[in-house]
Amino acid sequence: MYKMYYRCNLCQELYSDSVVKSPADAINAIALLASFGSTKSLLGERSLEMKGIHRCSDGSFGLSEFIGFRYAADPVEDVEQNRPETEERVQPNEV
């Protein structure tokens, strides 16, 4: 499995909140993200986005960008363990 990583441009935090199952899924997602900025056409409601809004640990909001997929032996457990308590992804229409 592969974890999807983002980096916040404001606080520089690196975080992961999604996984894909195979190298082919990761490559297809990267191609869609590079071409369209989203995987909505492939995944529908659970789409992955090229950019997002990140809530920083000090309460600020920053723009985060997709930086890649990294192989993980047990990504679901690893994502949950490494998710910052203050991290909150905000959808643009919620701002």
Within 8 A by CB and 6+ apart from 23, the residues are 2
Domain with 30 in it:
2-94
Question: pLDDT tens string for the chain (95 positions)?
Answer: 999 999 999 999 999 888 888 999 899 889 888 888 887 766 655 678 889 899 999 999 999 999 999 998 864 555 445 544 444 444 444 44
What pLDDT does residue 18 have?
A: 85
* Number of domains, the chain: 1
What pLDDT does residue 17 have?
A: 82
* DSSP string for residues in the chain: -EEEEEEETTT--EEEEEEESSHHHHHHHHHHHHHHSB-HHHHGGG--BSEEEEE-TTS-EEEEEEEEEEE-SSHHHHHHHHS-TT--EE-GGG-
What pLDDT does residue 87 have?
A: 45
What pLDDT does residue 36 have?
A: 85
